[in-house]
Amino acid sequence: MTAPPPRAWLLHDGKAGNVSQLLGLGQALGAEHRLLRSTVDGPRMLLPARLWQAGLMRHPPGGDALGPPWPDIVIGAGRRTARAVLWVRRAAAGRPFAVQIQDSGVAPARFDLVTVPRHDRLRGPNVVVTDGAIHRVTRAALDAAAADWGPRLARMPRPRVAVLIGGSSRAYRMTVEAATALGRALTAMREATGGSLLVTASRRTGPEAAAALRAILAGPAIAFWDGRGDNPYLGYLALADAIVVTADSVSMPSEAAATGKPVHIADLPGGSPKFTRFHAHFRALGITRPFAGRLESWSYTPPDDAGRVAAEIVRRRALQ
């Protein structure tokens, strides 16, 4: 008789990137999962532990109540979920296998498994190091998106270039000047190739930078998603011949790498040692190259970080 899939709780802090990592790992595990918002942040940590721990059993503002029946696996993503993960394991008498995605500042030994990308410095006997960020972009998802979006984008000439635009963060700045320069470089590349651009921006792009990009990236050979209607993100990845990604994100290059297509990194003002290590590692793997205003062609084997972490969870659970 086939064993039932494990039941997993995926604890998040509301950040889209962390939700994506949780769902990607839950999907790779084949788990029956529940996505729950549950955090223990700085202000609550100033209270006696018995007070904030009891609060997790109730329905906290902006969060989900936690209580039995307990899961087989509990996974958190981001610094603010770590103590909630540990509380669930403790409240359930140690039954759930406790996993933390990203360095939370809590000692790794307190979890059954911690996973971090290679550009983070955290290491340990129960730390699994990934190449990039865990995500939900799989070959099956790309194939389904290609079937869905193929007819809608059939008029777009090739080569099609998906352009994933992030924005300002703690490490990078998306200025109007940077957006304008990027828009002009993309336009020149498109005109030189006779192809098309499939563009999507983010909330972090900012209204002024987004307006500058829209003013430049316009015309029948450019699809610029305006945030209305169906999100074409997976369709753009699936149907592109190459991809340009701004340098401010770890998630977007990691997701783009699932396609096996050339991923060009467009630099922005700023940076940090962590991002320098991440981009250097992806270049060394042959996944990315700097965007120099032209298309290049190369190939690589897409990494499967979610599958690798899921396999390690299964292996370690079997040893318990």
CATH of residue 37: 3.40.50.2000
DSSP H or E stretch at residue 162:
strand 160-164
pLDDT at 45: 46
pLDDT at 4: 80
Contact 2, 281 (CB under 8 A): no
pTM over the 0.85 mark: yes
Query: 252-298, pLDDT tens digit by residue?
Result: 999 999 999 999 999 999 999 999 999 999 999 999 999 999 999 99
Structural domain harbouring 181: 139-290
Bridge partners (DSSP) of residue 100 are 76, 114
Span between the terminal Cα atoms of the chain, in Å? 21
- The DSSP code for 219 is S
pLDDT for 48 beyond 90: no
Domain count, the chain: 2
Q: Domain check: are 81 and 213 in the same one?
A: no
Taking residues 164-187, report their average pLDDT: 95
Query: 10-27, pLDDT tens digit by residue?
Result: 999 888 889 999 999 999
CA 50/CA 230 separation, integer angstroms: 45
Whether 296 is in a domain gets the answer no
Whether 2 is in a domain gets the answer no
Whether 84 is in a domain gets the answer yes
DSSP H or E stretch at residue 203:
none
Whether 310 is in a domain gets the answer yes
pLDDT for 226 beyond 70: yes
